[in-house]
Amino acid sequence: MQHTSLVKEVTCPNCWERFPPERVWYVSSHHDLFGDLRLGPNERRRFPPTRFDPEGRALDAKGAPCHELACPRCHLGVPRVFLERPAFFASVFGSPKSGKSYLLASMIHRLRKLLPKSFAIDFSDADPQANAVLHEYEDELFAHGKPDDLVHLKKTDVTGDWYHEVTYGEKRILYPKPFFFQISPVGSHPYAAKPASVARTLCVYDNAGESFQPGADRPDNPVTQHLAKSNCLMFVYDPAQEPEFRKHLQNISEDEQVRDPAVLSRQEVLLAEVARRVKSYRGLAVNARHDRPLLVLVNKYDAWQKLLGRERLPDPWTMHPTGGFAVLRPDMIQGASAAIRQMLHEYMPAVVATAESFVEPSRIVYVPVSATGGPPQRGPDNGYWHRAGSINPMWAEVPMLYALSQFGSGSAAIIPHGVPRSAAADAAKPAVEAGGGESP
């Protein structure tokens, strides 16, 4: 490899094997070299490099120079940025219909706009082909020509487009396809001159809700093992699925989901199952706590905001006095978290108790979010659809901003964060703390 700075260890984003960068494999580029032991006859052959051309490119068995990298274990593609920058893994989980896919689409769509515009951060696809499913989601929700068009996202399936299939001898294993992004400081960002300390490759997973239910985790179907590797767990919790919330929402919410018997599930059971899996993958005792953060994303805020008596949530960031970049306000997010925890504790104490026995309470943050900003309506197939022009997410990007600012890197953080010295009197001059993030 011709690069000067490589990470010490690469984690494969597909099978989570760890290997030193020198052990990376390549994807043959000569058109005669088709057929791979693990990936089947239609994939180009993978190989450990032994010969290089003068530019440092690996040569395949027919002498053609190769660029694409692959994992030595599962043979699936590993974007080159994984060798150059530390990865930040985030796993989204929650029950079927809790809104994981809508939220992911809104989160990424908002980050694409907000990070370059306000935070002086470049946020781009690390591998556009790998993010194709997410692009379709974003296009469906946010790139429709007519505001009156009805739009919706398909349910995430437990097989098909969302997975890679890999053969190990007789065994066939499915891995969920990860989505990849590069995040690096640019322009007036405080770390723009030394990007290496804070730049990251973000890797996010979306699964079908069914895969988290008890009994769905099998050795040949390790589709949720990313949970144990993740730097940050994002539990999408949907109050519209809880009988206790429903009693209070019947009369105040126009969202049909709160009356729909098809939208119900035992979310505290699912959270306990995820806790069990993470502890078992990591070899932790049953009564031990996981040492990584848990963000509880209390979703469909538009449907239950009246319970808190609030309207739209204010942006939890402020511009730095230089005007060159925004500074995240963790105090505003933590304030919202305390209010939401109290509300959950009142209506659904089992969820709070399960979360707090899984993860150290000081590492749990409850974030109100809405992927769509408003309720769906029944569409032609009697399913739930949204008017394209009325989609207006609330705080969809906030969980990832918070995670990157607090847990994203070692001694520094790519999202500058801080609290104005005197929030009331001196709001225009935040005490910026561009460092201070802690590593999980």
Ligand X SMILES: Nc1nc2c(ncn2[C@@H]2O[C@H](COP(=O)(O)OP(=O)(O)OP(=O)(O)O)[C@@H](O)[C@H]2O)c(=O)[nH]1
Footprint of Mg ion (CB under 5 A): 100-101, 156
What totals of helices (H) and strands (E) does the chain contain, helices first? 10, 25
Taking the complex as a whole, the smallest distance from the CB of residue 415 to ligand X amounts, in Å, to: 23
Distance, in Å, from the CA atom of 60 to the CA atom of 28, rounded to the nearest integer, reads 5
Q: How many residues bind ligand X (CB under 6 A)?
A: 24
Contacted by 14, from Zn ion, ligand X, Mg ion, none: CB < 5 to 8 Å by type: Zn ion
Say which DSSP state 4 is in: S
Cβ(354)–Cβ(275) under 8 Å? yes
Taking the complex as a whole, the smallest distance from the CB of residue 102 to ligand X amounts, in Å, to: 4
Distance, in Å, from the CA atom of 148 to the CA atom of 389, rounded to the nearest integer, reads 6
Residue 14 contacts Zn ion per CB under 5 A:
yes
Taking the complex as a whole, the smallest distance from the CB of residue 94 to Mg ion amounts, in Å, to: 9
Of residues 6-65, those binding ligand X (CB under 6 A) = none
Q: Rule CB under 6 A: choose which of 305, 372, 406, 409 binds ligand X.
A: 372
Q: Rule CB under 6 A: choose which of 73, 100, 292, 363 binds ligand X.
A: 100
Q: Rule CB under 5 A: choose which of 58, 74, 120, 130 binds Zn ion.
A: 74
Q: How are beta strands 25-27 and 69-70 bridged, if at all?
A: antiparallel
Residue 399 contacts ligand X per CB under 6 A:
no
Cβ(366)–Cβ(341) under 8 Å? yes
Distance, in Å, from the CA atom of 156 to the CA atom of 178, rounded to the nearest integer, reads 14
* Cβ count within 10 A of residue 212: 25
Residue 97 contacts ligand X per CB under 6 A:
yes
Distance, in Å, from the CA atom of 66 to the CA atom of 57, rounded to the nearest integer, reads 6
Residue 101 contacts ligand X per CB under 6 A:
yes
Distance, in Å, from the CA atom of 111 to the CA atom of 119, rounded to the nearest integer, reads 10
Measured between its terminal Cα atoms, the distance across the chain in Å is 29
Widest CA span of the chain, in angstroms? 72
Taking the complex as a whole, the smallest distance from the CB of residue 290 to ligand X amounts, in Å, to: 22
Which is nearer to ligand X, 176 or 375 (by Cβ)? 375
Q: Rule CB under 6 A: choose which of 224, 337, 370, 406 binds ligand X.
A: 370
The binding site for ligand X (CB under 6 A) comprises 94, 96-102, 153, 155-156, 208-209, 255, 299-300, 302-303, 370-372, 375-376, 384
The binding site for Zn ion (CB under 5 A) comprises 12, 14-15, 17, 71, 73-74
